[in-house]
Structure 1
Amino acid sequence: MDFVVRAVDVGFGNTKYVTSVSGNEIRCASFPSVAYPSMREPSVQPGYERRKTVAVPINGLFYEVGPEVELAADTFRATQMHDRYTETPEYMALLRGALALMKQPSIDLLVVGLPVAALTAKKAALEKAVTGTHDIGNGKTVVVRKALAVAQPQGALVDFAVQHGKSGAIEREQSLILDPGSRTFDWLVARGMRLVQAKSHSVNRGVFDILQAIAAEIGHDIGTPYSDIEAIDLALRTGKNPVIYQKPYDISRAMPMAHSIAQQAVASMLRWIDASYSFQNIILVGGGAYLFKKAVKEAFPKHKILEVKDPLHANVRGFQIAGMNHAPKLFGVAATASQGGV
């Protein structure tokens, strides 16, 4: 028997999801974790221009989500960066938006992620909320038969092991996985593939803190509040200065502040772990890896900091692999899970 397994990682900054699997190739996509509510289905409103989004109905409102969600935006960026994020309609809209974009009407096992610090408290409730029939709009539904919630960096560990051909060897090794996200800086200590809960945690010191601090510095320099977080993020990723008042702004002036925040996050992590010499693998993943790499290297000067290809999607790729391995056991059938595309 074959199973349809898919994975979604609804982060504070981006929602990542698996679109299809073909052989050993796992294809992923993502969109900003922003959901804009409306009283009416956006496509029937006057002046609507078709864009790459979906409108998900929840509690009498339509939440527009997807790759071009910024085209639906007003001047307020609607984010839900708090500990009850997974309980909000925005979270469910983002999850269902990913399900809609997968174009898979029925999923036997859906793997989702949680920050390390939230795993114990939120795991059961999230798995229950994700299981069942989801209205994705336009009269369409997606049925999720079972759900599995795992710590976000655990997915990255699985992805690293597969990418580097270490699936067997890593079972005898200790690993530290660092995952700087938009809101949280997560770390996971693992023996083999098993999480060491007492040494794994999260702190609310992520990429968004860096972007906000840089925005404040820019505002001070130009003499007016500056809030174009997306422009700062793009500038940091590409190395091209943002244009402000028709002139390039030298963003390198703000990098000491960015580095200081990254150091704070890493310092918090160092208080939880001990005997760093025992780690065979220190793995840096996540969309914010490029902003934290220097601080991590300073903290572990005698280690090689390992990375994966396409670190933004490392967690969700690992979720997919873990789900395909776990599905036969979960359903009590001695068969392999399907990796087939949609």
Structure 2
Amino acid sequence: MFVLGMDIGYSNLKLAFGDAAEGMPFTVNLPALAAPASMVASTLFSDGGADGNEDGVRVLVNDEPWVAGLSPSAVQRHSRELHEGYVGSPSWTALAHAGMALAGKNKIDLLVVGLPVHHFEEKGHRDRLRTLLKGSHQVSGKRQVEVERVEVVPQPIGAVLDAMQWYSDPAQLEEETILTLDPGYFSTDWAMIQPGLRYAKESSGSSLNAMSRLIETARTKMADDFGMAPSQTQVEDAIRQGRKHLRVFSDTVDLAPYLEKAALSVAAQSLTELRTSIRHVDRAITYLLLSGGGAATYKAAAEEVFPKSEVLISKDPTLANARGFWNFHMALAEEPVK
């Protein structure tokens, strides 16, 4: 069975794919920006177009050529979509088609995706996502991909399924209460996992105090000190690439202190919302599992708000959900493919 775990975020497109029998998936992480090919800077392309390398993935959206997986600086006159209607938009569709294309198969037996917790709780959102992804997709001029089955899970669950593969004592994880936190670009999602890996929807939720707001706050603090700040795109790219310094005029700015200061307010706000939403929980939270590109940034605030919980972060937390989505096929092993 060929499985694709796909995490289409506002900042990154994360993929984990491969045959279930092989045990470990291949992974891909690209910027989550897509635009009509006509708006992409021509200097990116050699010999007529992108081909799935660092220049992006050329796909079709409603018979129109698009390029997905681009850095924001590569796109002219195209704004990123940061709104509740993102799923199903042309940009989102381009990223979905890129994910299907990069998986390298014309038939995907199982595609697993996640939804923010507040959307997952609405059946209409789950059904719409399945409808959008299941079936035949013309991902490029001569490439058609058939998706046989689609499963939708709460976004933060992926990190738990991922942790079951790398934590030293996975049996212990199954026996304890886990609070998983996914600081994304547009929203910060959390989910409570009770013993037996049971999803507690009443103790799960979302906050808009996310990485986009944290970056905005960090930029404001830089502008206070230097009179100007790098753009939102420059800061985001630096975080994605693991760069520690940025230039402001002739000054070299250490990024970490500004992100840490911003996290004290933005991350603390979302964690306060989280703590309020789970105030009725009468059991100890043994593990606090952080995932996503903002995992390291939120770590200090998380340890302060939940001082008695053990904080867990994988070696590559940005890909945690995608790897976990791929692992979801294990839970379906006894079921017939629909």
TM-score normalised according to structure 2 size: 0.87
Quick one: distance in 1 between partners of 2:273 and 2:39? 45
Quick one: distance in 2 between partners of 1:222 and 1:248? 11
**Could you tell me which residue of structure 2 aligns to residue 264 of structure 1?**
269
Q: Is the 8 A contact 1:18 1:29 kept in 2?
A: yes
State how many pairs are aligned. Answer: 327
Q: Is the 8 A contact 2:162 2:321 kept in 1?
A: yes
Letter of the 2:292 counterpart:
G
Which protein has greater RCO, CA pairs closer than 8 Å, 6+ apart? 1
**Could you tell me which residue of structure 2 aligns to residue 289 of structure 1?**
295
**Could you tell me which residue of structure 1 aligns to residue 81 of structure 2?**
80
Letter of the 2:184 counterpart:
G
Q: Is the 8 A contact 2:114 2:154 kept in 1?
A: yes
Residues 167/330 of structure 1: CA separation in 2 closer, same or farther (3 Å cut):
farther
Q: Is the 8 A contact 1:18 1:320 kept in 2?
A: yes
Q: Is the 8 A contact 1:107 1:143 kept in 2?
A: yes
Residue 161 of structure 2 is aligned to residue 161 of structure 1: no
1:223-238 aligned within 5 A: 223-224=227-228, 226-231=230-235, 234=238, 238=242
**Could you tell me which residue of structure 1 aligns to residue 322 of structure 2?**
316
**Could you tell me which residue of structure 2 aligns to residue 105 of structure 1?**
106
Quick one: distance in 1 between partners of 2:288 and 2:50? 44
Partner of 2:149, secondary structure, is strand
Once the two structures are TM-superposed, the CA of residue 23 in structure 1 deviates from its matched residue by 3.7
Once the two structures are TM-superposed, the CA of residue 165 in structure 1 deviates from its matched residue by 5.1
**Could you tell me which residue of structure 1 aligns to residue 64 of structure 2?**
61
Q: Is the 8 A contact 2:3 2:17 kept in 1?
A: no
Residue 8 of structure 2 is aligned to residue 5 of structure 1: no
Please tell me the root mean square deviation across aligned C-alpha atoms, in Å: 2.8
Quick one: distance in 1 between partners of 2:227 and 2:35? 30
Quick one: distance in 1 between partners of 2:229 and 2:200? 43
Once the two structures are TM-superposed, the CA of residue 231 in structure 1 deviates from its matched residue by 3.6
Q: Which string of whole-angstrom CA distances, capped at 9 and with x for unpartnered residues, describes residues 132-189 of structure 1? A: 1111113101100110011111111111122125444444322111111111111100
Quick one: distance in 2 between partners of 1:41 and 1:94? 15
**Could you tell me which residue of structure 2 aligns to residue 340 of structure 1?**
none
Residues 248/195 of structure 1: CA separation in 2 closer, same or farther (3 Å cut):
same
Residues 298/33 of structure 1: CA separation in 2 closer, same or farther (3 Å cut):
same
Quick one: distance in 2 between partners of 1:159 and 1:37? 34
Which ranges of structure 2 fall in alignment gaps of 5 or more residues?
none
1:157-306 aligned within 5 A: 157-164=160-167, 166-191=169-194, 192-224=196-228, 226-231=230-235, 234=238, 238=242, 240-251=244-255, 254=258, 255-274=260-279, 275=281, 278-306=284-312
Quick one: distance in 1 between partners of 2:283 and 2:242? 34
Q: Which moved more, 1:236-245 or 1:117-126?
A: 236-245
Quick one: distance in 1 between partners of 2:190 and 2:232? 29
Q: Is the 8 A contact 1:180 1:289 kept in 2?
A: yes
Once the two structures are TM-superposed, the CA of residue 57 in structure 1 deviates from its matched residue by 1.7
Q: Is the 8 A contact 1:5 1:324 kept in 2?
A: no
Q: Is the 8 A contact 1:109 1:147 kept in 2?
A: yes
Residue 123 of structure 2 is aligned to residue 124 of structure 1: no
Q: Which moved more, 1:77-86 or 1:229-238?
A: 229-238
Residues 268/133 of structure 1: CA separation in 2 closer, same or farther (3 Å cut):
same
Letter of the 2:245 counterpart:
N
Q: Is the 8 A contact 1:109 1:327 kept in 2?
A: no
Partner of 1:329, secondary structure, is coil
Q: Is the 8 A contact 2:59 2:66 kept in 1?
A: yes
Identity %: 27
Which ranges of structure 1 fall in alignment gaps of 5 or more residues?
333-342
Q: Which string of whole-angstrom CA distances, capped at 9 and with x for unpartnered residues, describes residues 285-315 of structure 1? A: 1110011001100011122212222111111
Q: Which moved more, 1:216-225 or 1:95-104?
A: 216-225
Residues 107/316 of structure 1: CA separation in 2 closer, same or farther (3 Å cut):
same
Partner of 1:97, secondary structure, is helix
Once the two structures are TM-superposed, the CA of residue 219 in structure 1 deviates from its matched residue by 3.4
**Could you tell me which residue of structure 2 aligns to residue 33 of structure 1?**
32
Q: Is the 8 A contact 1:40 1:61 kept in 2?
A: no
Once the two structures are TM-superposed, the CA of residue 199 in structure 1 deviates from its matched residue by 0.8
Quick one: distance in 2 between partners of 1:70 and 1:49? 18
Residues 140/71 of structure 1: CA separation in 2 closer, same or farther (3 Å cut):
farther
Q: Is the 8 A contact 1:110 1:144 kept in 2?
A: yes
Quick one: distance in 2 between partners of 1:135 and 1:18? 21
Quick one: distance in 1 between partners of 2:330 and 2:2? 8
**Could you tell me which residue of structure 1 aligns to residue 146 of structure 2?**
143
